[in-house]
Amino acid sequence: MASRNTVLMRLVASAYSVAQKAGMIVRRVIAEGDLGIVEKTCATDLQTKADRLVQMSICSSLARKFPKLTIIGEELVVWVDPLDGTKEYTEGLLDNVTVLIGIAYEGKAIAGIINQPYYNYEAGPDAVLGRTIWGVLGLGAFGFQLKEVPAGKHIITTTRSHSNKLVTDCVTAMNPDVVLRVGGAGNKIIQLIEGKASAYVFASPGCKKWDTCAPEVILHAVGGKLTDIHGNVLQYHKDVKHLNSAGVLATLRNYDYYASRVPESVKNALVP
């Protein structure tokens, strides 16, 4: 146990450092003016030069320090999203963008790092850009000020660019006071922990394990909960399918309220 914990904390420290470097790469690509955009599967599924450079930087840096990165000792797996919110990045919605590094042990998300390259970017030309949020289960989450939505308010955050009838029906069933449509799974979890939203509702396949591993840890470390739309805990072992085929439901508080309002028609349409 002591050896595993030592390796974990070394890995978290390295991931924190490389996430900060990744944020610098993301900002540099924007500053250079050539995003190098290519379509992966469709017009809303994009990849940029920043995706490619950050992926290379993270993987090469961690691989040098941890040669057996996928499996260390027993089963320690790292899930990386080099640019969460790529579409928003290409459209200049820079506060939606995050770099995500999640760490799982025996299928459970246990540590996560979220870098926000453009945090504070609206504060003026002299503002210091970027921040790194990190957390470890049993230790806590750091790099932000925990806040909650006022009692009785139901503010839903959901997808900006991947909506469909299932998503709309599920969001409507929550009886929301406000609906926020933003990019990036990491960004949505940050909205939950900073009191800007009550629940993250995405009743559709689309996001993948590298989108949810790191954010899930941050949320769980402060008492929140993230599951699929059926209430199933997500698994992150090395052989798991990458797609979160049954969507995502996440809250900082009052999870049962939102879970109870998911329509049966939505559950029947989404197979875990």
Model pLDDT for residues 90-106, shown as the tens digit of each residue: 999 999 999 999 999 88
| Torsion, CA 206, CA 117, CA 109, CA 87, rounded to 10 | 0
Q: How does the average pLDDT of the chain come out, rounded?
A: 91
Q: What is the pLDDT of residues 155-169, one digit of tens each?
A: 999 999 888 999 999
Query: Residue 231 burial by CB count (10 A; 0-12/13-18/19+): exposed, middle or buried?
Result: middle
Q: Over the Cα atoms of the chain, what is R_g? A: 18
What confidence tier does 76 reach under pLDDT thresholds 50, 70, 90?
confident
Average pLDDT of the residues in 81-90: 93
Instruction: Pick out the residues of the known binding site.
Output: 74, 81, 83-84, 211
* pLDDT number for residue 72: 38
Contact (Cβ atoms closer than 8 angstroms) between residue 90 and residue 39? no
What confidence tier does 70 reach under pLDDT thresholds 50, 70, 90?
low
* pLDDT number for residue 163: 84
Give the whole-number percent of the chain exceeding pLDDT 70: 94
Is residue 71 over pLDDT 50?
no
Is residue 153 over pLDDT 60?
yes
What confidence tier does 73 reach under pLDDT thresholds 50, 70, 90?
very low
Find the range with the poorest average confidence among 4-18, 21-35, 258-272: 4-18
Catalytic residues: 51, 86
Instruction: Pick out the residues of the known binding site for Mg(2+).
Output: 74, 81, 83-84, 211
* pLDDT number for residue 46: 82
What confidence tier does 260 reach under pLDDT thresholds 50, 70, 90?
very high
Q: What is the pLDDT of residues 93-149, one digit of tens each?
A: 999 999 999 999 889 999 999 999 999 988 888 889 999 999 999 999 999 999 999
Average pLDDT of the residues in 194-219: 96
* pLDDT number for residue 3: 67
User: 60: Cβ–Cβ under 8 A, 6 or more apart, which residues?
Assistant: none
Q: What is the pLDDT of residues 4-18, one digit of tens each?
A: 778 888 889 999 999
* pLDDT number for residue 113: 97
